[in-house]
Chain A
Amino acid sequence: MMALRRIDPVGLLVLPAVLYLGLVYGLPLLNLLARALVVDGVPSLAGFVKFFSDPFDWIVIGNTLRIAVLVTLLSLAIGFPTALALARARGAAQALILVAIILPLSVGVVVKAFAWQIVLRRDGVVSQALVALGLWDEPQRLLFTEAGLVIGAANVFVPFMILPIYSVVKLIDPRLGEAAATLGAAPAYRFFRVFLPLALPGIVSGIAFVFSMAVSMYVVPNLLIGDRFQTLATLTGRSFLLMRNEQLGSTTAVVLLVLAVSVVVASSALSRRFGGQS
């Protein structure tokens, strides 16, 4: 009764959404966890023991993490300067960068992966350009290679790197840099000791976004690298949709879930620490 009296009528507006998501999505997730921990009706870690004792599955985990790290690094390398430029840009330049970020965000991932299939072919734009520049002796395909996968995936995820960094950087007072300069700080010192610590929460959440999406992407590897290269997500999908091996699928799904959730939790702890400092 006490608890009920503390909830006022307006607060009850939360209930439909919470009940809905709890029933339709929360309970199923708990059920999935429970099922992965039960083998033939008895609680057991056998599914995980089997998974982690198979060398092939370690290759899959390695593939997943390596690709996710590379995609995140590439996205950071091109996303960070773009976020800085966006924060400083005005007028048409600002509009152009914003359109370049938001428009691809609203176009489906299947469309973009399909386009990269065309770009990365042996006779595609990239191959032709590299030959024309004299960097390659003859046309080669990037499609169905790890490099192609990283390029295509970074293209899909880089807006999720730019936006959080931009939202933090645009709030940094430019006078802080000027003040540091007046006090005799060199440009490098100003960047690393004044600007970067303030931008860090945005960088951390951008990295977390991109990494957790890159770990669990499914459509992009399917189209850009194919069946011979498996990640946790593609193996999970295949287990259910093609191999009908639900025990394996539940296990890989839980491993993937734990990976993605720990990235999100770790990053929010990190950015809270950095946020507390500034």
Chain B
Amino acid sequence: MTPVERLSGIVVWGLAIATVVFLLTPLAVTVAVSFGSSAVFTLPAPSWSLRWYEALGRSRELWGVVATSVQLAALSTALGLGFGTAAAIGLLHGRFPGRDAIVTFLVSPLMLPGLVVGIAMLEAYRAAGLRSVWVSLILAHVVITLPYVVRTVYAALSLFDFTLIDAARTLGLSYPRAIVKVLVPALAPAFVTSGMFAFLASMDNYPISIFFTDAWTRTLPIQMLQFVEESPDPTIAAISTLLILLAVVVLVVGDRMVGLRRMADL
């Protein structure tokens, strides 16, 4: 290795380590603050305590909001997986014109500003006379979850060799059994990871949801942002820590099922 190469290697690795620290800093800070005893965000904390977790446990209001968000994310992820997987199979296996345009349309909600999408949907739903907060939220959140599924399942399916199904059928399996035995296992990782990311995206969505929530039905990010703006205390850090824990669980499960490297292909 020439000195120039060695130097550039050191620079690349130095910056990569700095980036890793930079990326993990907000998570580490949140966890540290949540276990501090002080009501102001001093680091390092004067002493450690679980008082913010106790405060969190007592907050009925917050648990109602969490329940709303989880239900919403679960239902919209299920619908997104249904619509999205069907669309991905149809796109790859059907014969029709305009395939690229359809794929672009189906994943476009990921690329457009959420706020603009939210406003557009708010105005249209209001004009259509839709009053229910729940129905509006579900309709909107499927728009968030569907693109994740289409993108990931479509990518995985396009790598799948469909002659394997024919091979299984020649070996005596019926068509439905061939699908279950051959296609489903090959597709399961994409299905699971896109479902997990879609779920988290729905749980986290602020810019679209803000237009549909009211005083009685709120989602978690909206409640949290209100706390941060109005009465920030480390209870927010405690709930954030639980969300980080959820993300860690997702990461571990994803790593077991498909491996970290394939999750990074998302």
Question: What residues make up the interface of A, taking CB atoms closer than 8 Å to B?
Answer: 6-18, 20-21, 24-29, 31-32, 35, 78-79, 81-82, 84-86, 89, 94-104, 106-119, 121, 123-125, 155, 158-159, 162-163, 166-167, 187-188, 191, 212, 215-216, 218-219, 222-223, 233, 236-237, 240-241, 246, 249-250, 253-254, 256-257, 260-261, 264
- Known interface pairs A119-B29, A241-B210, A253-B115; A110-B23 also in contact (CB < 8 Å): no
Contacts of B105 in A (CB 8 A): 18, 21, 26
Q: Is the CB of B244 within 8 A of A111?
A: yes
Contacts of B12 in A (CB 8 A): 81, 84-85
CA distance A256 to B114 in the complex (A): 11
CA distance A96 to B72 in the complex (A): 32
- Known interface pairs A17-B146, A158-B23; A111-B243 also in contact (CB < 8 Å): yes
Q: Is the CB of B115 within 8 A of A237?
A: yes
* Whole-angstrom distance between the Cβ of A262 and the nearest chain B Cβ: 12
Besides A21-B143, A110-B225, A163-B266, 7 other A-B contacts (C-beta < 8 A): A11-B94, A17-B87, A29-B120, A95-B260, A240-B211, A241-B211, A260-B112
Q: Is the CB of A17 within 8 A of B206?
A: no
Q: Is the CB of A32 within 8 A of B224?
A: no
CA distance A18 to B167 in the complex (A): 32
Q: Is the CB of B221 within 8 A of A106?
A: no
Of the A-B pairs whose beta carbons lie under 8 Å apart in the complex, a sample of 7, sorted by A's number, is A11-B96, A82-B20, A118-B29, A158-B23, A187-B8, A216-B116, A236-B115
Question: Is B86 on the interface with A (CB-CB < 8 A)?
Answer: yes
* Whole-angstrom distance between the Cβ of A192 and the nearest chain B Cβ: 12
* Beta-carbon contacts under 8 Å, B182-214 to A: 196-197, 200, 203-204, 206-207, 210-211
* Whole-angstrom distance between the Cβ of B130 and the nearest chain A Cβ: 10
The SS class assigned to the B binding surface is helix
Chain B residue total in the interface (Cβ 8 A): 93
CA distance A27 to B123 in the complex (A): 11
Q: Is the CB of B102 within 8 A of A256?
A: no
* Whole-angstrom distance between the Cβ of A243 and the nearest chain B Cβ: 13
Q: Is the CB of A108 within 8 A of B116?
A: no
CB-nearest residue of chain A to B109: A25
Q: Is the CB of A24 within 8 A of B121?
A: yes
- Known interface pairs A21-B106, A103-B27, A187-B8; A114-B263 also in contact (CB < 8 Å): no
* Beta-carbon contacts under 8 Å, B204-245 to A: 204, 206-207, 210-211, 220-221, 224-225, 228-229, 232, 236-237, 240, 243-244
Question: Is B39 on the interface with A (CB-CB < 8 A)?
Answer: no
Q: Is the CB of B123 within 8 A of A35?
A: yes
Question: What residues make up the interface of B, taking CB atoms closer than 8 Å to A?
Answer: 2, 4-5, 8, 11-13, 15-16, 18-20, 22-27, 29-30, 33, 41-43, 83-84, 86-87, 89-91, 93-97, 102, 105-106, 109, 111-117, 119-125, 127, 139-140, 142-143, 146, 150, 196-197, 200, 203-204, 206-207, 210-211, 220-221, 224-225, 228-229, 232, 236-237, 240, 243-244, 247-248, 250-251, 254, 260-261, 263-266
Of residues A118, A125, A236, which shows the largest number of chain B Cβ atoms within 10 Å of its Cβ? A118
CA distance A261 to B102 in the complex (A): 17
Q: Is the CB of B264 within 8 A of A111?
A: no
Q: Is the CB of B102 within 8 A of A31?
A: no
